[in-house]
Amino acid sequence: MPDSAQGMRKVRSIFLSDIHLGTRACQAGRLLAFLRMHQAEKLYLLGDIVDFWSLKRGTYWPESHNTVVQKFLKRARHGEHVVFVPGNHDEALRDYVGMRFGDIEVVREATHLAADGRRYALLHGDELDQITHYHRWLALAGDMSYSALVRVNLALSWLRRKLRVAGYWSLAGYAKSKVKGALDFIYGFEETVAGHARNLGFDGVICGHIHAATIKDVGGIRYMNCGDWVDSCTAIVEHTDGRMELIHWNDDLPDASQLIEEEPNRTVPRPRELAIEEL
Ligand SMILES: [Mn+2]
């Protein structure tokens, strides 16, 4: 099948992170559509590309996930400079830093010199994520469906009545109040990462990890986050003049991997904010 398609955009660089191949949430079909439409000189894979944590719990590896890996290898073979910075979900591959997978270069951190002369630090970001306790709570909350939360809450209020504790306390409400905390977490992370880039003398930083895509100025540093391909389907591209663009890929093609994994019993979608537990 030819890779070239009408309307393909030529960009200088593509930055992707948090694809989470090996999970049911991975939007591999959409990513493949994005890749088909974007040709680049450089392709940076900024961590959590393959989710080994999930693969440890049970193998889920549909054809489309294989195709994504094949496409990356193929692009590298055909002269695209493909650089892979492992994240925490693929940290096992950090042992391979300095080596190559096919023609893909594996590095711990990278530097990108943009066409406009700006220097960017490239990293996944988990190394600068300090709020681990908070994370653990979200991990717990995220694994429970809303109805499970409600059931637990009923048990808790029964217990509270038994213990004669006044008032009503909602566990689900508590979980939601923590979402505000999730925003604080995102801002804190952005500050930390931007500060890290500033200390190293960079003009900007491109990272992933927190699944919150953005291009913005944080204290004089250009902070960019690639987002993810489990939920938001976002990428950052650099145009030939060095201009950076955040792309939200929302084609209307059905995602093959999604069709396979439909779970009829799962009526309540996991709240978006709680997805932070899987960073
Ligand atoms: Mn991560």
Token pair, residue 113, equals 């010199």
Q: What is the dihedral of CA 22, 24, 30, 36, to 10 degrees?
A: 20
Q: Which fold has domain 9-278?
A: Purple Acid Phosphatase; chain A, domain 2 (3.60.21)
Residue 38 has pLDDT above 90, yes or no: yes
Tell me how far the alpha carbon of residue 84 lies from the centroid of ligand 1, in angstroms.
14
Tell me how far the alpha carbon of residue 22 lies from the centroid of ligand 1, in angstroms.
14
Residue 116 has pLDDT above 70, yes or no: yes
Confidence at 127, pLDDT banded by 50, 70, 90:
confident
DSSP codes, the chain: --S--TTPEEEEEEEE----BTSTT--HHHHHHHHHHEEEEEEEE-S-SB-HHHHHH-----HHHHHHHHHHHHHHHTT-EEEE---STTGGGGGGTT-EETTEEE-SSEEEE-TTS-EEEE--SGGG---HHHHHHHHHHHHS-HHHHHHHHHHHHHHHHHTT--S---HHHHHHHHHHHHHHHHHHHHHHHHHHHHHTT-SEEEE-SS---EEEEETTEEEEE---TTTT-EEEEE-TTS-EEEEE----S--HHHHHT--TT--SPPPGGGGGGG-
Tell me how far the alpha carbon of residue 237 lies from the centroid of ligand 1, in angstroms.
20
Average pLDDT, the chain: 81
Tell me how far the alpha carbon of residue 149 lies from the centroid of ligand 1, in angstroms.
26
| pLDDT one-digit tens code per residue, 64-78 | 999 999 999 999 999
Residue 182 has pLDDT above 80, yes or no: no
| pLDDT one-digit tens code per residue, 187-203 | 889 999 999 999 999 99
Tell me how far the alpha carbon of residue 104 lies from the centroid of ligand 1, in angstroms.
20
Of 101, 66, 119, 88, nearest in space to 17 by CA: 88
Residue 247 has pLDDT above 80, yes or no: yes
Q: What is the dihedral of CA 84, 42, 65, 101, to 10 degrees?
A: -50
Give the per-residue pLDDT at 154: 62
Tell me how far the alpha carbon of residue 262 lies from the centroid of ligand 1, in angstroms.
25
Tell me how far the alpha carbon of residue 107 lies from the centroid of ligand 1, in angstroms.
16
| pLDDT one-digit tens code per residue, 56-107 | 888 899 999 999 999 999 999 999 999 999 998 898 898 889 999 899 999 9
Tell me how far the alpha carbon of residue 108 lies from the centroid of ligand 1, in angstroms.
14
Tell me how far the alpha carbon of residue 192 lies from the centroid of ligand 1, in angstroms.
15
pTM of the prediction? 0.76
